[in-house]
Amino acid sequence: MPPLRAPRPWLRLLLLLLTVSAAISLLTCLRCLDNPQELLLNFVLTTVYTVGLWLANGYSLDWLDRYVGWKQAPAKRMVLTLVVSLVGSLVVIMLVRLGYILYRQQSPARLFSAQYIDGYVFPLVITVICSLFMHSRSFLLGWREALVRNERLQKEMALAETASLRQQLDPHFMFNALNALTSLVEEEPKLAVRFIRQLSQVYRYVLDARQREVVPLADELEFARSYLFLQHIRYGEALRFELPESREIPAHFVVPPLSLQLLLENALKHNAASVSQPLYLRIELDAAAKTLQVRNTLRLRRLGPDESMGIGLPNLTARYAHLTAEPVQVARTAAEFVVTLPVLSVV
């Protein structure tokens, strides 16, 4: 015998509303127990009230969530919640009462008589209860989601920090840098001094930026320039690169720290480079679209199992997802691999 399926959410909600309506019908019309027809009419009216008020408040809740959040403007959201909830509920109550009047074949003018105006009080009380429940639930769910997102971001930032430090402080990176420095000291002492300065800037930036959520884009580009200078000493003419000038970058443009290092490291790690077929790296900024593109020629080489864990780009994408709704875009053609990063702004 196959297992029973759980009822769908809308079916569970409908059953809940019908149960609430039945309870309210019995409590508000005890005299109707001796009159099944009156009891059924009272139940139908109560059900229409309950479902209508629930839908009116539910859709208003979804609408308000798109335009005014509890976290951004709690006072404004509270006022709008009360106004929209009461106005929407009043419209539902008047429509239901108008339908009842027409069912009784009475004049629509009775809708505004003293008898019917007094009858608005009880439905509005139900409205306030439903509204308080739904909007309190929305606030608590938003608060819980914010806590979960914050914890997840901290975890991913820690993972990104560990991965970045592991890549930059990798003994192989230091070994290659020292080998290049040794040959420079003997052959080109002036270039060796510059190499040491750039190497110190790379490590200083890694240590300074690892505790920050975002860094100025100009600083990130300067770091990328220093990093690529070190790699160019190692690869020689097998590596060609092009970067925008940092002085032309708006001061309010920021990005997550070490974003470019991760993409540049991936390009160097995954692609073959030689003097006859150099690896081209190009970073382009579109200030109007607020995007930063990192392009590299695509000539994949086979990696060992310990060389790549495949977590760098997904981790960077997850970090961006917590900072902006704009996605990290990855495109691959036969000749190029392109990653487009959103550029954030701080005022």
Same domain, 71 and 199: no
The residue range of the domain holding 233 is 169-345
Same domain, 263 and 226: yes
91/99 Cα distance (integer angstroms): 12
Same domain, 183 and 331: yes
Same domain, 93 and 234: no
- What are the phi and psi torsion angles at 46 (to 5°)? -65, -40
pLDDT in tens, 12-66: 766 776 777 777 766 666 666 677 777 777 777 777 777 777 777 777 777 777 7
Same domain, 295 and 334: yes
How does DSSP assign 30-66, residue by residue?
A: GGGGG-HHHHHHHHHHHHHHHHHHHHHHHHHHHHHHH
pLDDT in tens, 233-287: 888 899 999 999 877 788 899 998 888 988 988 898 889 999 999 999 999 999 8
Same domain, 122 and 248: no
Same domain, 213 and 332: yes
Same domain, 14 and 110: yes
The answer to whether position 2 is within a domain reads no
- Averaged pLDDT of the chain: 77
pLDDT in tens, 114-135: 666 666 676 667 666 766 676 6
- Domain CATH code at residue 233: 3.30.565.10
Residue 300 carries which DSSP code?
A: B
Structure tokens at 336: 């190029």
104/179 Cα distance (integer angstroms): 96
Would you state the pLDDT for residue 166? 47
Same domain, 217 and 323: yes
Same domain, 114 and 214: no
Same domain, 139 and 244: no
Same domain, 176 and 131: no
pLDDT in tens, 64-102: 777 776 666 777 777 777 777 778 777 877 887 777 777
Element housing 137 (H / E): helix 121-168
The answer to whether position 159 is within a domain reads no
Domain total in the chain: 2
Which of 92, 118, 148 terminates a domain? The answer is 148
